[in-house]
Structure 1
Amino acid sequence: MLISCLLGIFVVTSSQTIFTSADCTISSYPPDRRVQGSNLAVKARILDKTETSAELWIQHIYKGGEKLAILTALPEHLAFQDISDRHVQLNVSLEGDCPILKPTNKDQVYIFLLERKSGRLFIEPNPGSIIPFSEDLERKILKQLGWSNWSEWGQCSASCAGGEQYRQRHCRSTECKGSYSEVRYCNMFPCQGLQDLLNLNKEQYFKPSRRFFKSIPGKSKGIHFKLSSYLLYPMKEAFETPFPREFSLFINFKVYSNSKGILLSLTNPEDKENYLSLEFLQGDSESGAQLQMVQATQAGQKKIGIPITVPLNEWSYLAISVDANDKMKFYYNCKWVTTLTSRLNIHKENIGTTNETRKLQVGEHPDVAIGYLFQGDIEQILVSEYPEDVSELCSLPKPYIPKSKETKDEKQKPVDNTNRFEDQEEGSGYSGQSDEEYEGSGSEPSHNSDQILLEWSSWSTCSASCGPHATQTRISRCQDSARMMECIQSGMERRVIRSCQLAPCPSSPFESSHITSEDMENFRNKFKPTEIETSTNKEHIMKKKLWGM
């Protein structure tokens, strides 16, 4: 077994092999009941496969976590939670006839039912041992295992520079495996260059009027939108700063009805036919809402389908970035979804669909529309001028450690082996990792095709020429390889910060003349009236002493 650590993410590659020993056809027995009756059940993604083998990336362990922890050297406290960021991998042998696994999609997630014999893992001999995963199925599985549904995530404790949010659940049976509460980092992007598109103070921006808008219960910020209410304002007038050419967009929202509403639209005021819009598609109310990004120009229109289904009446966390090369990344609920380039199908009415490269731009000062024909809640819409911050909206959840297990002076922190905030500079929101932590992760990637290729930029110049608060940053990017998507999905593209450790800034010449409480006391003693001074000549005597008369 080989265990290594790359940028705080544990890569655990096990030599254990899973052998198929029976038919894998789907059983008529309900899949959630099959998981409940199994000894070891995991959620996994197929990273690679051949005719005889496949490599699984374990995402979550539902049952048998203690056994799998022993086999993979996974810390036991992480055995029953989302571990997709830890790269726990198992090599799977496809010996025998398994009609379900052979045609599987690498992007599809499955639930595997396993059993252990003679120190090895086998797929259960019962039919239906490989089950296509869905969020609804996972909720049913957790219910079968005794858990209630998770509560909604609470409000993030910070709007930028890094905060925390929590959620809870309770056990409905005599014993449940896993944690009762979880915590995750949120809004980890820097405050510098951040624009809050909901932070408006003029009545005319609220359509038809401000009285149509309500606050969100349980939230200190955000807006509840009705079908008849929306926001409309010129960017230049509202913020006096241009909309960035490269950006990350962070939106927390909850949709109540399945409509064709617009979540956000940016329109070039000088050319109304040039706009960029994030829209809902009419869909099945049971499956949830669908999202697409639409860019329109005078030459035509291009639509970018976002491969997610937004559940109704649940909070969703969406992050989108556009870089200088018009590469777009989409993250949903803290996980990478897809990466697209600017070469997309554009529909022109006169010549049909063509393949062209178009710039994603709407001018520096677009008109902004939010919530048009949208019914639901929007907690935040933030724009960062750094596209590499797209993965910083939220992290994967970790078990919450009760404060009773800490010392009184120790600040409560979640279990997080990525060390995102360890040794950070106060208020920075980035991890202040030292050079030693990056040793071997420089800009010269390995050329082994089986490895993840990661490239780091050079450190930026310090944000100041002196003082303890000067910092510098650098960015990691996943390189083109067979495992590039795996690299992106793992959140390995990130921005990190460190202190420049510069000398203190020179003292100001005015600092020595600052009046302290000691100076004031000396002043009072110097001009304290003597016994022979009367109330009538007291002021005259003090003036003479003050001016040396």
Structure 2
Amino acid sequence: MCDLSVCAMKTKMASTRPLGKVSNRDLIVIVVLLCQAIVCDSQCPKFAERPLETRLQDASIVFRAVVVEANFHIKTLDLALVSIYRGGVELASVSQYSGSPYNTTDRQVNLKISPQISPCFNWSTATQKELVVFARVSDPAVDLETTPPDGPWLEATSASVPWSLGVDIAIWSAVGWAGWGEWGACSTTCGNGRQTRRRYCSKSNCEGYGEEWRSCNSFDCEGTINPLAPDARRNFHPAQAHWGRVSDRPHAFSLRPNSYIWIASSELFPAENTFPTEFTLFLSLRLRPESGGYGQGTLISLRSRRRSGSFLSLELAGRGAARLVHAGGGSSRSIYLAVPLYDFRWHHVAISVHDDNTVRIYVDCRWLRTDILEKDALDTPRDADLIIGYLFSGDLEQLVLVPRSGQAHKQCSSQVTGVFTQYEIISN
């Protein structure tokens, strides 16, 4: 990482030059920002900054990691693994890891930076940076200066690059893997199921997993309400014909803006005949390309029969956003959720309401936010009827209501397990 004193000296020299319309202050800001980059061209040797394809060819081990700690005095980085593009077996051997070589859960490695490429790294701002690392295992018989007495060492072969989605796609493509496909439907609607996703290889041999699985719908089935189940009682408006099936997801419905489902609370909870004060709601949905990525309409709404204008609803709020809206007593409030629906892929949303004032939200299997509001801020109408899909255009696969709070994390797990499979080879 760059020597900041060199950057500061260049800044001072540059500030003495006439710059026309660019002020000295502006130049100082620009130079400082450049010097805080992961790679500093002025100090990094050319061999360490070769094109991405060349760095891949020269490295037997390539992986994505987050910098946990940068040790400038001994020129090493402590890294938490995120994913491994190449060299999983070799990396496991040098890091003395005995598990599956491409598993990255709770794994850390130590990377040595040679004096030649040490200036390529900004040691002062490295922590928490997410990098793509190009490395190899040192050879004790050859690398006498870099190999410690206790055995081989993992060392960088070139400058790392900041991770981005574009870099990620380029590297997976270079090593032969296409991007991961979508997660399939969960095998059960409750009681702990399993879902998988696959990717395909464009070379004669690809390292790593061709399939991954994760647990899903691990909440208890007792009391669960599933309005989309084949035998569920529901009222289609204007007719069930407006709710088409989805060809690639047999249990999903395709909704049009002029159709919705209405279910009376007495049919949802016949014993209590009222809506519960604590509950968790699970949804799986996707927009269709004809929507242009701008979601609109109401996914689900709980509306009071007796109090006009009293409701709790989940609505789409334009590109990449949704909102949980509560109205009652002449006022309303909204909680905004970042949901990237504009990619036209399936997304999972789980909302848990506790004690009418605490909302915990998960999106795509990861915690998004928790809001603690004043008492009774989300007073759910006890005489609420359930309305699904009003003015919404898209596909809906899961809509499950559990009369218990604290279940949002059980829709799907953020931990995935890789499976070695006979992957399908695709041509270029």
- Of residues 402, 418, 425, the one that matches 1:384 is 402
CA offsets 1:270-310 (integer angstroms, 9 cap, x no match) = 33433332222322xxxxx3233233333643332324423
- 1:294 counterpart (325, 328, 331): 325
Partner of 1:253: 285
* Deviation per residue, 1:456-504 (Å, 9 max, x gap): xxxxxxxxxxxxxxxxxxxxxxxxxxxxxxxxxxxxxxxxxxxxxxxxx
> What corresponds to 2:108 in structure 1?
89
Change (3 A) 1:29 1:50: closer
Secondary structure of the 1:295 match is strand
CA distance in 2 between counterparts of 1:124 and 1:399 reads 28
Superposed displacement of residue 313, structure 1: 2.7
Higher relative contact order (CA 8 A, sep 6+): 2
Does the 8 Å contact 2:72/2:123 carry over to 1? no
Match of 2:196 in 1: 166
Unaligned runs of 5+ in 1: 1-21, 284-288, 344-355, 404-549
TM-score by length of 1: 0.55
Give the Å deviation of 1:393.
1.8
Could you say which structure has the larger radius of gyration?
A: 1
Which of 344, 368, 371 in structure 2 is aligned with 1:313? Answer: 344
Alpha-carbon contact 1:33-1:141 (below 8 Å) kept: no
Q: Over aligned residue pairs, what C-alpha RMSD do you find?
A: 3.9
SS in structure 2 at match of 1:224: strand
Return the offset for 1:132: 3.5
TM (norm. structure 2) is 0.69
The answer for the alignment partner of 1:63 in structure 2 is 86
CA contact (8 A) 1:200 1:238 kept: no
Q: Distance in 2 between matches of 1:322 and 1:30?
A: 51
Distance 1:112-1:377 versus aligned 2 partners, 3 A rule: same
Question: Which residue among 180, 184, 187 is the counterpart of 2:217?
Answer: 187
Q: 1:45 to 1:202 in 2, by over 3 A?
A: same
SS of equivalent residue, structure 2 residue 251: coil
2:252 to 222, 227, 252: 222
Partner of 1:25: 39
Q: Secondary structure at the match of 2:343?
A: coil
| Alignment CA distance shift 1:247-1:253 (3 Å) | same
CA deviations on 1:9-67 (whole Å, 9 max, x unpaired) are: xxxxxxxxxxxxx9723899886886676443333345678999986432222223223
**Which piece of structure 1 moves more, 141-150 or 25-34?**
25-34
Q: How many angstroms apart in 2 are the aligned matches of 1:261 and 1:100?
A: 47
Which residue identity does 2:227 align to in structure 1? L
State whether residues 36 and 144 of structure 1, in contact with CA within 8 Å, keep that contact through their aligned partners in structure 2: no
1:138 match: secondary structure: helix
Q: Structure 2: which amino acid aligns with 1:66? A: V
CA separation in 2, counterparts of 1:303 and 1:398?
Answer: 37
Aligned residue for 1:195, secondary structure, equals coil
Which of these residues, 308, 322, 328, is aligned with residue 359 of structure 2?
328
Q: Kindly report which structure 2 residues correspond to 1:100-111, keeping only aligned pairs within 5 A, or say none.
A: 110-111=131-132
How far apart are 1:162 and its partner, in Å? 1.9
Once the 2 structures are TM-superposed, how far is the Cα of residue 376 of structure 1 from its aligned partner?
A: 1.6
The aligned counterpart of 2:63 is 42
What does residue 508 of structure 1 align with? none
Letter in 2 for 1:236: S
Residue 384 of structure 2 is matched in structure 1 by 366
| Seq. identity, % | 24
Preserved contact between residue 326 and residue 342 of structure 1 (Cα < 8 Å):
yes
1:214 CA drift (Å): 0.7
Specify the SS of the correspondent of 2:408: helix
Give the drift of 1:319.
2.1
SS at match of 1:250: strand
Change (3 A) 1:341 1:23: closer
Q: Does 1:399 align with 2:408?
A: no
What is the Cα deviation at residue 90 of structure 1? Answer: 4.4
In structure 2, what is the equivalent of residue 198 of structure 1? 228
Partner of 2:102: 80
- In structure 2, distance between residues paired with 1:332 and 1:374: 19
C-alpha spacing 1:202/1:392, structure 2 compared with 1 (3 Å): closer
2:340 is paired with a residue of what secondary structure? strand
Who is 1:280 aligned against?
Answer: 316
Instruction: Check conservation: 2:193, 2:217, Cα contact below 8 A.
Output: yes
Q: Deviations over 1:132-191 (max 9, x none)?
A: 433x65344322221233333333222111222333332111210112233332222111
The size of the alignment, in residue pairs, is: 356
Matched with 1:375 is 393
| Partners of 1:185 and 1:402 in 2: CA distance | 19
Q: The residue matched to 1:143 in structure 2 has which SS?
A: helix
* Runs of 5+ unmatched residues, structure 2: 1-35, 42-48, 139-146, 423-428
Letter in 2 for 1:377: D
Counterparts of 1:137 and 1:33, CA distance in 2:
14
For 1:268, which of 304, 310, 325 is the aligned residue?
304
- Asked whether the 8 Å contact 1:203–1:210 carries over to 2, the reply is no
**Larger CA deviation: 110-119 vs 379-388:** 110-119
